[in-house]
Structure 1
Amino acid sequence: MFSTLALNALRTFESAARLGSFKAAAEELSVTPAAISHQVKALEARLGAMLFKRTGQGVALTEEGELLYRQTHRALLDIRRSLEAFYPDTVPQTLTISTTPGLAAAWLIPRLGGFYRSFPHVNVRVDTRNELVDLLRDSSIDLAIRSVSRDDPKLFCQALMNEQFSAYGAPGLVASLNVNQIELINLHWKIPGAFSINWESWCAAAECQTWLETAQMREFDDEHFALSAAIAGHGLVLASNVLVADSLRDGELVAYRPEVSLPGPRYVAVCVPGRERQVHVSAFLMWLAGAALQDG
């Protein structure tokens, strides 16, 4: 049934497509770049389609190449995962989760102990970055936790938590707040969708636009640092209810005018379709759902 499949050529093509370079694929597969080029040309001849566009800067996938890459990558990933099921249970399994530094520090990592107690042989590696990872191309990431305004139809998606943004500050600062000498922590971030999450929108909802004329702004580019500054008493921060949940519980932050909030996106867990059925990914998704429900 599978005697005519060009498995070696497909493996070579997948490596070159994923890495975007014949040279990098050669290093990964321990062959020469000429061998990579030969395999790709043979596969193109067999399929009757160009898979790569050759440029002075390297190679790029054609439309046909992109389609074949996604199918081949998924198939090879499934084969690798199936083989892992035969490994002894005592061998630690690594699960790589991608999310933002803010969510990792404020929400995910403090709760991971609950997962480890149920699955002691699974090692969770948390990959933190503010840029979106292309899960269809980066096979090193098993699962991503993202803040989104709409689902990506190309990915499996599990809803987790909805966000609301409110003003928070250290208890001492909020108790003695002088609205004539206000300090605001301003976070430069990209919110998905059409949500307007900024001090201008909050002040308009709170009917205190005069703040913006006299407030001292403390500027930050990272959620985690902005929350740390608020906890230290450096000003009010406009933050997600998800990220401040533990700080509120521990008394590090309190809400200022909790009746005023701005709607935001929602957190979801996403992965390449089919990967959610793999044992460790499925277990982590189930645990994530429970952790999110407790905070809901």
Structure 2
Amino acid sequence: MKRPNLNALRTFEAAARKLSFSIAAEELNITQAAVSQQIRKLETFLGSELFVRNHRQLSLSAVGQAYFRTVQEAIDRLDTVTDQLFPERSNQIVTIRCTSSIATLWLAPNIGAFHREHPEIDLRIRTLDSENSADKNPNVDLEIFVTGKDVSDPNTSPLLTSTITPVASPRLLAEAEPLKNPKDIQSFELIHVLGYEDDWHRWFRHFGLKDVAVPRGLAVDGSLIALEAAVRGDGVVLGRRPFVDQHLRSGQLAEVFGAPYSLTAKYYLRQPRTSGDQRSKQRVATWLKQLCEHAGSETDG
């Protein structure tokens, strides 16, 4: 029996995974018309509709859903065997999406060690700051994000629990009276990060200062700018560990209170199903989780 064209199967896999011909076209670097044409030819060859096409929504038919699982497994297997038999082929690129502060403070200092251990994998960091706001479906392999909501996505798993603690320049703290309880923080200028403005309000509420107005202080667009301001002695900022651990180890910043007056935030790792070498993506995901375990042990210590 004649088998379907491999290019058509890869196109079907991308379109079924994304449930969008336009996004599949972008991923495969072809036109949307080419995707539609290949899907039509595949459906004609198989004698069955693989997709249910509504006005603004694309979904898989029952047979399409069953076929998608088989095709995806076959393509993943092909990619894995190719990597095993031809290890010297061109490097695999794995793209990570995260905030600029995570990229600069946490990933960048560790990328060199990762490349020495996995020279066959090229990491690409795509920060939220560099993305086009209209790009609602970025083509990334791994995504690190924080949320206060429960996550039930099967492609998402917990990555780390960050400790949110007030930090400031040791010089600034030395010039002031010792801080003994949360309300004493009002004697300092507070540094707010746009996008995280709820952090100080949440901190005040959590430690029983519900009736105390949160000082406005300096507001900056980004955690990196806020940390620079704190290092200069411009005020106190809520630092997120382990991302600020280098600042603490170097003595540029110090915890104002320590563990008794800290909050937490949960970060997650999303691994969307994308084309490419699945083994490389899993190695990067494992590395990220190992970084978190190491950071957690240092923080606890």
Fold in common (TM above 0.5): yes
> How well do the aligned residues superpose, as a CA RMSD in angstroms?
4.1
Q: Which residue of 2 aligns with 1:115?
A: 114
Shift of 1:26: 9.4
What is the CA-CA distance between 1:181 and the residue it aligns to?
Answer: 5.5
Mapping of 1:1-296 within 5 angstroms?
Answer: 3-5=2-4, 7-14=6-13, 18=18, 20-21=20-21, 25=25, 33=33, 36-44=35-43, 46-48=47-49, 50-54=51-55, 60-62=57-59, 64=61, 67=65, 71=69, 76=75, 78-89=77-88, 91-129=90-128, 140-148=139-147, 150-155=150-155, 157=157, 159-177=158-176, 182-189=188-195, 198-206=199-207, 212=213, 215-258=215-258, 259-265=260-266, 267-272=267-272, 278-296=278-296
Kept in 1, the 8 Å contact 2:76–2:278? The answer is: no
- 1:114-134 CA distance string (max 9 Å, x none): 222322333221122279xxx
SS of equivalent residue, structure 1 residue 154? coil
For this pair of structures, how many residues does the alignment match? 275
Q: Taking every aligned residue pair, what percent have the same amino acid on both sides?
A: 26
- Kindly state the Cα deviation for residue 253 of structure 1 after the two structures are TM-superposed: 1.0
Letter in 2 for 1:53: N
1:133-155 per-position Cα deviation (integer Å, ceiling 9, x unaligned): xxxx76x5332333355444421
Q: Partners of 2:95 and 2:293 in 1: how far apart? A: 22
Distance in 2, matches of 1:160 and 1:81, equals 25
Q: In the superposition, relative to structure 1, how do residues 68 and 145 fare at CA in structure 2: closer, same or farther (>3 Å)? A: farther
Distance 1:63 1:234, change over 3 A: farther
User: Where in structure 1 are there 5+ consecutive unaligned residues?
Assistant: 132-136, 192-196
Deviation at 1:250, TM superposition (A): 0.9
> Would the aligned equivalents of 1:164 and 1:262 in 2 still touch at CA under 8 Å?
yes
1:247 CA drift (Å)? 0.9
CA contact (8 A) 2:164 2:262 kept: yes
TM value normalised by structure 2: 0.71
CA shift in 2, pair 1:283/1:189, >3 Å: same
Give how far 1:48 is off. 3.4
| Structure 1 residue 293 displacement after superposition | 2.4
2:31 and 2:293 map into 1 onto residues whose CA distance is 49
Match of 1:134 in 2: none
Report the Cα distance in structure 2 between the residues aligned to 1:293 and 1:241, rounded to whole angstroms. Answer: 13
